[in-house]
Chains A and B, each alone.
Chain A
């Protein structure tokens, strides 16, 4: 069972109070993009064993979207942060580096 801290309402929300929103930090490729970029945007997702970044919505709560960094093998949560950020904040990256040296995820790490 995941417990994620909602950065908007300050509640430690249980997984059953949240709605998963898939992978975080996708860059949208819309009209006029190349077929490869569009395909990547629509279909190509990370499926890591370890550090992962996701979007979650506090659906049965304040209703806000936020980002979460967690480990898919141990379910350890490294931190949650605002949905408005386009990359993980430095303190969360540092925390992950301390616990999973050499980690990388897409362009981060």
Chain B
């Protein structure tokens, strides 16, 4: 078996906020009727967190469920648990109209942490990330400069950012530039 390597694994930049490229993370796209209890049971069963409402992300450690669209959630689990999680969800959802896709290797994950992490994200996205509008527990699909991305807050000082793996280098460089010491805006 070859070793699994995440995009830019281990890359770190220490600016006025810290930007880190995370190791592999299991990400499973689940599409279907989000109101159906069978879909809620399947996803919460493998993620071990409450099912999120519109625009929310419930994440604990490496596990979580993120609300992506009215018919789609993203289930996060440790990378090694993906085959098992997919199998268990397939079993629960058997016979219903659904789609389960392992997208772990199609994505890149970054952590942006520090007191001014909010500022780094705000420089790159049109989304409102002011402390009153965006708090831990919320989830936002949007863009970072020219590419689609999504983010949520693990805690008051840490953002987790996902993007397509093919643009991982671009997003890392963006976050790096936005976190350049001396470029603080001090808006929040």
Which B residues contact A (CB, under 8 angstroms)?
A: 54-55, 68-70, 72, 126-128, 140-143, 148
B69 adjacent to A17 (CB under 8 Å)? no
Q: Which residues of A contact B68 (CB under 8 A)?
A: 62
Beyond the given A9-B54, A17-B127, A59-B148, please list 7 additional residue pairs across the A-B interface where CB-CB is below 8 A: A8-B70, A9-B55, A17-B126, A60-B148, A61-B142, A62-B70, A64-B70
Contact A64 B69 (CB under 8 A): yes
How far is A61 from B69 in the complex, measured between Cα atoms in Å?
Answer: 8
Most A-side CB within 10 Å, residue of B54, B68, B69: B69
Among B54, B70, B141, B143, residue most surrounded by chain A Cβ atoms (within 10 Å): B141
- Complex contacts, B70 vs chain A, CB 8 Å: 8-9, 62, 64
A50 to chain B, nearest CB (A): 27
Contact partners of B143 in chain A: CB under 8 A: 16-17, 60
Q: Which of A12, A14, A16, A60 contacts B141 (CB 8 A)?
A: A60
Q: Which residues of B contact A13 (CB under 8 A)?
A: 126
Subset of 26 A-B contacts with CB under 8 Å = A8-B69, A8-B70, A9-B55, A9-B70, A9-B141, A10-B54, A11-B127, A11-B140, A13-B126, A14-B126, A14-B127, A16-B143, A17-B126, A17-B127, A59-B148, A60-B141, A60-B142, A60-B143, A61-B141, A61-B142, A62-B68, A62-B69, A62-B70, A62-B72, A64-B69, A64-B70
